[in-house]
Amino acid sequence: MFVGGSQAILRVQELIDKAARSGSTVLIIGESGVGKDVASNEIHARSKRSGRFLAVNCAAIPGDLIESELFGHERGAFTSASARRLGIFEQANGGTVFLDEITEMKPELQPKLLRVLEDHKIRRVGGEESIQVNVRVIAATNRPLHEALESRKLREDLYYRLNVFKITIPPLRERLEDLDLLVAHFVEELNQEHGKDVDCLDAESLAAFRAYDWPGNVRELRNAIERAVVTREQGRIALHDLPEEFYEVRHSEDEFVVRVGSTLEAVEHELIRRTLEATGNNRSRAADILGVSRRSLYVMLHKNGFEPRGKKSGRSGGRDSQT
């Protein structure tokens, strides 16, 4: 399930519910690791479909085998076809087929998938008979759609047929307000999986998590916590329990050092300036890293002389931009 209380994730949950109640084809967009497979599973689980949920990674199966994987084959269809084999679409009849990395599907196979979506019929490799199937298709990609279309990795007619109900899942770096809930969820889940009783992260580890860019998104977060749970015997997860990249983030040359004798006003101003700079002036993310609400951040920005949106400020630390 999707964990989090951010507006972005609540919207994704709402769309999953609506998609589950419909029979429409779904296209899920999002970076690697955001949970496209989780969303597809939830759509199927919340639907009234009684058949199986089967997933195919179009990038992982060799091009000469994927047609047989999807549609099956007849005996003698090719050298190693010693017996008839049912493909994913027949196996999932009455259920859902999840086609991950759809833009990696061979161009010559895409028209056959299009016919399945339009006619609800498949033909096994080497077969002559068309077979009726009742399958709901959910497709996903981490590739920007305009690039896939321009490079002809994805046919336009197939794109329009897939893009009936689109769900875009935001990357973790854009919803850091969900980080605490995700951490607590994974710690509990992984404690049960590994028979441990480890507590959540200490303050330093959580600060490192908040400063990290999460290129691998939620999958990377779970992997980092699993490593810590496996290596930790008891107590709170500390920074040294995490992979090296988090220690490097926490102790990089960008670390903010407070000198004795500095005023609180000067420290606050510099901390805000550096945080905005590190986040590319993304105020939502800056508020998350600073551990304050967005409303409180606006008060701090005004108090420290940072420019409001659309206006210029004379202070050197006041340059800000749209999030």
pLDDT per residue as tens digits for the range 141-195: 998 888 889 998 899 999 999 999 999 999 999 898 899 999 999 999 999 999 9
185-12-200 Cα angle (round to 5): 15
pLDDT recorded at residue 294:
85
Contact 122/130 with Cβ under 8 angstroms?
yes
Q: Which residues pair with 26 in a beta bridge?
A: 138, 165
Helix 203-211 / helix 179-194 crossing angle, nearest 10 deg: 120
Per-residue confidence (pLDDT) for residue 282, from 0 to 100: 83
The pairing of strands 131-132 and 136-141 is: unpaired
Distance CA(42)–CA(225), nearest Å, equals 23
pLDDT value for 291: 83
DSSP H or E run through 26: strand 26-29
**pTM for the full predicted model:** 0.75
Low-confidence ranges of the chain (pLDDT < 70): 248-262, 307-323
Q: Residue 118 has what pLDDT?
A: 93
**Residue 90 CA, distance from chain mean position:** 29
Q: DSSP strand E in 43-189: where?
A: 53-57, 96-100, 121-122, 131-132, 136-141, 165-168
Residue 310 has a pLDDT of 44
Pair of tokens at residue 122: 């498949």
